[in-house]
Each structure stands twice: as C-alpha cells, then as structure tokens.
Amino acid sequence: MSERPRHYDLLEDLLLRTRLPWYGATALISAVLFLSVVLAEYLDGVFSRPFDWGVWRSGLQPPAIVTYILVIYPFMQRLWDRAVKALTPLLDLDSRSRDDMIEGHKRANHRSEWLAVILGASFWIALSQPWNWVEHWLDVYGLAIQMLMFGMLGWLIYGGLSDARQLTKLNRHVKLDINSPGLMAPVAQWGLGISFAFVGGITISVAFQSTESLMNWQTIVIYAVLISVTILIFFISLWSTHVAMLRAKRSDLALAREHLGAALRELKEKTADGSAEGMEKMYSAVAAWGTYERRVCEAREWPYSGNILLRLGASALFPTIVYLLKILFGVRLTP
C-alpha cells in the first residue's frame, strides 16, 4: 500500500498537467489572475484612478482567495496524510480489510469533485444573478473569476466533508489504548487545521469586501454557509474521535471493575474464612486494580483540551470582529 494516502486530488491532478512544481504552478496561476485584473481595468479605462482601492477591491478578492487555497492545500494534504497514518495501525481489522478501507478513500471520485465545483459556481450565480449587472470588461472578468473561486470553494467543502466522513468510518474500527491519548493527536491537528484554513479564507474575504457589500443578504448567506461548514467539519472530526476515546475508556473501565470486583470478593471470602494465606497478594491485587480504575476514570475523553478550544474559538471570532468593525465604522482594510 502506498505510504502517501491521497484523498480528493482533482486540483493536484490539474496542476500536475502544468509540469511545474506545486508552488511554481501556484505563482504562475496567481500572476495570470492578477494581471487579468489589470487588463480588465485597462480595457474599462479606469487607470485614471490607480490608487482608488474601491476600484481594485472587487477584482482582487477572487485572485487572493484562489492563491490562498493553492498555498494552503499541500499543508492540509500533509495533515490528512498524518492523521490517516496515525489511525492505520490502530484499526482493529485484519490486514486486507484495513488496506481496503484506506485504499477505498484514496481513489479520487473525480465525477463527484467536478459536481462539487459546478454546484459551487452555480450557487454563486444563483445568488449574484450576473445577467443583471454584467456590462463592462471588468464585469466579465469578475463573472469568470468568481465562478472559479466558488467552484474551488465547493470542491474544498466537498473534500472536507468527505474526509470527515472517512474519519468517522476509521474511528469506528479504532482500538485505542486509553493510556496513550497522544496517538490521536494527528487526527485532532487535522480537524484544527481545516478549521483554521476556513477561518483564514473567511478573514481574507471580509478584508476585501466593502462596507456596503457586507450588508447585502447575498454576502451574509455566503458567510453563513462557510461558517456552518467550518463548524460542521470540525465537530464531525471532534465527535468521532471522542466516541473512539470514550469507547476505549468504557472498555478499560469495565475490565478494571470486573477484576477489582473479583479481587474484592476473593479478599472478602478469605477474610470471612479467617485464612491468612495469600492475603498480601489479594491486597496488592485490590490496590492495583483500584488504582487502575481511578486512572481510567481520569483519562481524557476528548482530543482537545480546554485551552485549545479557547484558542480556536478566539480565532473563529476574528473574522466576525473584522466584519463588525467594517460594518460599524466603515473600516477599509487593504492588503
């Protein structure tokens, strides 16, 4: 089996066709997109106001988001690979079943990915209704680049939900040692990484929006969808990991209480019989299983600590704060 699991990889396959390194292709695509903005501005004759941020803002947002997606994708891929690699030896399955489960998700479903791209672009078209406002070259450019951006967002959402679903399947077969919760750390890091990636994209998008556009119902709907997806993906990964840890804890706790009960009954019987033979051994057994029971009871049931969740919550509030500042005070953020 390949050591590098590959989940949804439509974007990777497309960039491989350029025969350039990932970030080389990213730089080329970004340059083309940003230069297209300049060309559209020139054709519309708005170069007389080269320093008017309002002229450039709407055209620069999509290239910035597309570039951001291309930049963070390899990092998110590595986090996912590490999560799957960490879970693989913990799966309570025979070798063939384990390989089938891992390989099944590695086979990219390009049809579903293209459908996600089309749905993402269609979602934006339905909200913005471009047939009502496309008049100039910059509008034509905006239509094309916005469709590309929302198509990529649809693809990302599909990929995130698909990975979260696969993580849930894997966690159902995990046999975890409750004394080694750190084994699930890569899974937790993937969930955090996905959340931070979406939060970062939302923040960049808000920074490019005008105060007026942020108050449009279409913009509010878009951000509500993105925030909801971010929360959904995070809590699916969080809950499935919690269930795996809780299952392991309950199993160990049942084992500890079974042996502790047996040791206590035997100790009680020997005490009632007045037999001193083996009493020291019984005392040791009761103490050992009692200690183990307390240790299991104190074991973690969640992959994240309170401090990590607090930091995540604070980071998630950042785009909301930026949004409110721009609404209340008309703050204009420039790159």
Q: What is the pLDDT of residue 47?
A: 59
Are residues 69 and 46 in contact, defined by beta-carbon separation less than 8 angstroms?
no
**Any idea what DSSP says for residue 6?**
-
Closest CA to 187 of 161, 162, 200, 168: 168
Q: Please report the pLDDT score of residue 7 as a whole number.
A: 47
Look at residue 335 in the predicted model and tell me its pLDDT: 43
Spatial separation of the C-alpha atoms in residues 315 and 25, rounded to whole Å: 30
Residue 117 CB partners (closer than 8 Å, separation 6+): 10, 151, 152, 154, 155
Domain boundaries, the chain: 10-252+297-329
pLDDT at position 4? 44
Return the pLDDT at 333: 46
Burial of 140-167, coded b for 16+ CB within 10 Å and e otherwise, reads ebbbebbbbbbbbbbbbbbbbebbbebb
Q: Give the per-residue pLDDT at 31.
A: 92
* pLDDT at 2 (0 to 100): 43
- From residue 136, give the alpha-carbon distance in Å to each of 4, 40, 44, 125, 129: 46, 9, 7, 17, 15
What residues of the chain score a pLDDT lower than 50? 1-8, 332-335
- pTM exceeds cut of 0.85: no
